[in-house]
Amino acid sequence: MNRLYFRKIKNFIFLGLISLSSLFIIIPLSILLVFLISKGLHGLTWSFITELPKPAGEMGGGIVHALLGTIWILSLASFISIPIGILGGVFLSEYGEGFLANTLRYSADLMTGVPSIVIGIFTYALIVIPMKSFSALAGAIALSLIMLPTIIRSTEEILKLTPKHIRKAALALGVPRWKVIFFIIVKGNISTLFTGIILAISRATGETAPLLFTAFGNMYLSSSWKEPMATLPVQIYNYAISPLENWQNQAWSGALLLIILILILNICARLISGRFDVGHGPKFIFMKLRKKWTSKSF
């Protein structure tokens, strides 16, 4: 009797504790979000998003140069890493056994563990110094090195989930293998692939460390890939550590803008894949593919 009571108490305490544990996640995050919104919202005006910064000490100004810089560098990085990443993922999923494939797989996993600052140093040494200039290109290359392994692995995982009978059916109809790969499998999965890519891009949006000494920073608008370019995270960092209250407020508004950008990307990704839960569900992807293939006519 005593022992049962003791077990019941232990049960109650344990369940109570783990139920409260989620509060430790929700409370700090809520404080962060409330702080961010309260400090950044009133500064997030149209002029903030469209104006260039003013010299130190003067009120007003905006971060349009950093916003456009982020979009520009991300696009450049995507153009570099998406083709290479998808082809790498295709190789791993289609010809995935063997020495080369395994090496590629392990190298990609290796890359995901490299701290982003190390990638920044690598890009500085290999691109900024020979080019004798900080540049948007160097920043884009650093970001693409960060996005590449994620795209490769997610492409491989998604393509591997294609049901085997589709592949066999196409091959049986006499389609050459390469066409099966690119026109049927990749094309069929394109929206899920896109989801993985957008998630990789949203991860790269917030990266600051590799951009510190590659894209460097610029007080003006720049659209040349050879010139230094301002980016949202680096600009937020510079404003955050400054003593001017105007700039500190702009750091908060910039941070809010950055979060909104990332949330937009994430929501796009979820909308495209049609799900709002975490992780890939093989059943759902299969059902989506089946719907696609039964509606197309060969």
Partner 1 sequence: MTYLSSTRFKLAPHKQDKICLWGLRLFAIVIIALIVGLLIALFHLAFPAFKELGFSFFKGTAWLPSEGIFGILPFVYGTFLTSFLAILIAGPISVASALFLSEICPKRLASFVNLFIEILASIPSIIFGLWGLFYLAPWMRDTASPFLKSHFGFLPFFEGTSFGVGLLTASLILALMIIPTITSICREIMKVVPCEQKEAALALGATRQEMLKLAVISPSFSGIMGALMLGLGRALGETMAVAMLIGNNPKISLSLFAPASTMASVIANEYSEAVSSLHTSALCAVAVVLFFISLLINVLARVIVWRFAPLSNRSRG
Partner 2 sequence: MKAVLLFSFLALLNVSVAGEVTKINGAGATFPAPLYSKWFSDYQMKNKDVQINYQAIGSGGGIQQLLEQTVDFGASDTPMNEEQIKKAQWPVMHVPTVLGAVTIVVNGAPEGLKLDGDTLAKIFDGTIKKWDDAAILKLNSKLKLPSNEILVIHRADGSGTTAIFTEYLSVVSPTWKKNVGTGKTVNWPVGVGAKGNDGVTSMVQKTPMSIGYVELAYAESAKLSKVALKNKAGEFIIPSTDSISKAALKVDQKMNVIDQEGKGVYPISAFTFILIPENKKEGKLAMMRTFLKWALTEGQTSAAALYYAPLPKSLAKNFVNKL
Decide: is 62 part of the binding site for partner 2 (CB under 8 A): no
HSE, CB side, 13 Å, CA atoms: give it for residue 157: 15
Cα–Cα nearest to 218, from 43, 69, 93: 69
3-class SS of residue 134: coil
Q: Can you name the residues that pair with 61 across neighbouring β-strands?
A: 53
**In this structure, what token pair is assigned to residue 52?**
């260039």
Helix (H) or strand (E) holding 70: helix 64-94
Please state, in angstroms and rounded to a whole number, the distance separating the CA atoms of residues 168 and 35. Answer: 55
| Residue 112-141 contact track with partner 2, rule CB under 8 A, x = bound | ----------------xx--xxx-------
Of 66-74, 113-121, 159-167, 281-289: span binding partner 2 (CB under 8 A): 66-74
Of residues 195 and 218, the one with the C-beta less far from partner 2: 218
Decide: is 68 part of the binding site for partner 2 (CB under 8 A): yes
Decide: is 266 part of the binding site for partner 2 (CB under 8 A): no
Of residues 41 and 223, the one with the C-beta less far from partner 1: 41
Total residues in contact with partner 1, by rule CB under 8 A: 96
Total residues in contact with partner 2, by rule CB under 8 A: 29
Decide: is 36 part of the binding site for partner 1 (CB under 8 A): yes
Among 48, 72, 247, 252, binds partner 1 (CB under 8 A): 252
Please state, in angstroms and rounded to a whole number, the distance separating the CA atoms of residues 160 and 185. Answer: 10
Of residues 223 and 260, the one with the C-beta less far from partner 1: 260
Query: Dihedral of the CA atoms 76, 231, 194, 271 (nearest 10)?
Result: -150
Contact 250, 155 (CB under 8 A): no
| Least CB distance to partner 2 at residue 60 (A) | 13
Q: Which residues bind partner 2 (CB under 8 A)?
A: 54-57, 68, 71-72, 75, 79, 128-129, 132-134, 216-223, 227-228, 241-244, 248
